[in-house]
Structure formats: C-alpha cells, structure tokens
Chains A and B, each alone.
Chain A
C-alpha cells in the first residue's frame, strides 16, 4: 500500500521560501510510470495543481504557469522522497499543500494517492 508522508513548517514569513518534503513508502520516486505532484488548496483558489517531477530515463519537471519561476520540485532517490520549494512567498500562498502520486500508462493517467496535507500560513 502506497503512503505519502508530508513534513515541513506550517508558518513561513513573506518573501521567504516555503519548503515541504514528501516521503514515499510502497513505491519508488524513480518509477517510470509515476509522477510526483504538489497540489494546494485554499478557499480563494480551490484545488490548484502546482507541478510534478518524474523520471523517464532522466528527470523532468513541470509546473503551472502561475508559479513558474518560483517553484522547484526536487526528487531525492537516496531517501525515496521529493520536495517542494516555493520562493518569494506572499500571503496569497497560504494554503493546505498536498503531495500526490500520479500514475501514467499508455491510455491511463490519474492522481490516486495523496499525502495528509500541510497547512502553510504565510505571515510575519
């Protein structure tokens, strides 16, 4: 059974970097039919997909346009985990952040397993 365990601070100051980690059990961050996503949820923006990292002979990253340039998602194969780093945060980045697994086959693609969520508040 795949489980994702999130860790990281719940309070970040404006202009600083928000960093969260997602530890994977029961699967591998290097699996070539999976991708590892970050999604956030806030009352004002609803569920918002942020980005993913995935391995297909080499590592790739995708991110949504609204955070492009501020977002980095790093895999760590030695610890079987992946991390989110969102820099220059503002109060608008306050949200519950989720890590999630996406599975992709030739004719199938979906996000199926989610972490427990981390409420991150951006405030001084």
Chain B
C-alpha cells in the first residue's frame, strides 16, 4: 500500500488561508469517506483535527475545514495563527482494511 501524496511544505502569513492536499488512489482516499487529518507538533503525538473527510472533533477550531474530490482530500486552515505551525498528515482507510498515512506537510507560519 503506497502512502498518499502530500506536498512537503506550505507556508502562509498570519491571517491568511492555506490548503494542503492529499492524493491517494481509489483503494484508499477515493474509495472511502474515512479520511482523517492530524496535526503534529515536534515531540508530540499526532492530534486528530478532521475525521470522516470533513468532520471536526469537539474542541477543534472552525478555522480548520476539509473536503474530498475523487482521489484527493484537502485540508484548509483559515485565519492562520502562529500556533498552527506544525506537521499535518492525512490518513485513509484502505481496501485492505488497514490505515495508511500521507508523508506529511510542514506548515510554516511566516
């Protein structure tokens, strides 16, 4: 199972919006609405930000939104804040009954 493709890095200024994409296949991202997004700060465990393509867990800011079209899922962060600087990973359920993670995107807040 190959990992979904994510751009290595993205940057934005405070207050701006950025979008991170996650491109998989019909056997993972495109085949199931079980796509999640995680935020990870250095030395910390990943934190769930989005589940089931576009749902936010309780306590997650509505500045975080996500969607999916075909084999590509997208995470948008609006009103960028310094605390958003982190690594972001997509994850998808697969046709093998496993989970697969993207390689991660490093967000820099300028």
Binding site for B on A (CB under 8 A): 37, 39, 46-49, 62, 64-65, 98, 102, 107-112, 114-117
For the complex of A and B, list the 3 residue pairs with the smallest distance between their C-beta atoms, beginning with the closest: A110-B51, A47-B101, A114-B45
Instruction: Verify A64–B98 contact, CB threshold 8 A.
Output: yes
How far apart sit A115 and B46, CA to CA, in the bound complex (Å)?
Answer: 9
Known: A37-B99, A49-B98. A116 touches B57 (CB 8 A): no
- Contacting pair A46 B52 (CB below 8 A): no
Query: How near does chain A come to B89, taking the closest CB pair, in angstroms?
Result: 6
Q: Is the CB of A111 within 8 A of B52?
A: no
Do residues B45 and A46 form an inter-chain contact, with CB atoms below 8 A?
A: no
Are the C-beta atoms of A46 and B51 separated by less than 8 Å?
no
Given contacts A47-B46, A98-B45, contact A111 B99 (CB under 8 A): yes
A-B contact list, 8 entries, CB within 8 Å: A46-B102, A47-B89, A49-B101, A64-B98, A109-B93, A110-B34, A110-B36, A112-B51
Known A108-B52, A111-B36: A49·B45 in contact at CB below 8 Å: no
Per the bound structure, the CA–CA distance linking A47 and B1 in Å amounts to: 13
* A37: nearest chain-B partner, CB-CB: B99
User: 11 other contacts beyond A46-B3, A107-B33, A114-B46, with CB at 8 A cut-off?
Assistant: A46-B89, A47-B89, A49-B99, A64-B98, A65-B96, A102-B99, A108-B34, A109-B34, A110-B52, A111-B36, A114-B45
Least Cβ–Cβ distance between B15 and chain A, in angstroms: 29
CB proximity to A under 8 Å, residues B30-51: 33-34, 36, 45-48, 51
Within 8 A of A (CB), among B6-60: 33-34, 36, 45-48, 51-52, 57
